[in-house]
Amino acid sequence: MRGGHGCARAALDCQYRAAGTRGRSEREDRLRFLDDLLVVLECNRLPLAACPALAETDFNIASLYATLRAADPPQLPRVADYSVEARHPKPREIELFKIGDTIPMLVATQLTFNQADRPIELTIQVYRGDCYRFRASITNRP
């Protein structure tokens, strides 16, 4: 993780703010369903200085990354720091997901950097642990 120490969420949030995103940011909370079952609660924070159009964009019909690419200058995601941890659900999640407090949650935290190595997105995704599996490929390719 780029300079992250300690708790991933706190480190990423501090890094997000310290890396030039001190101005206003756009926050987008989304619920994602599989059929009629809520499987992920997603919260995105994006700096408005990088893409002022974020404040006016309806993400029910627009793509986040298409909006970032259309910015002047374009904001091109190049790399992201990503961590996943398991934890118990918080009260709001118990209510939203309609689950008990024993269902595990998987929390993915992602800090995305643009072509200038500046953070352009902090995303926290909370998944139902009984409905989601994390898979990854590990490689030694440069």
Q: What's the chain's average pLDDT?
A: 84
- Give me the residues of the chain with pLDDT under 70, please: 1-23
Phi-psi region of 112 (alpha: psi -120 to 50; beta: other; left: phi over 0): beta
What pLDDT is recorded for position 80?
A: 93
The amino acid at residue 120 is I
Nearest by Cα to 39 from 107, 97, 92: 97
DSSP one-letter code for 61: T
Tokens of 20: 């030039």
What pLDDT is recorded for position 76?
A: 94
- State pTM to two decimals: 0.77
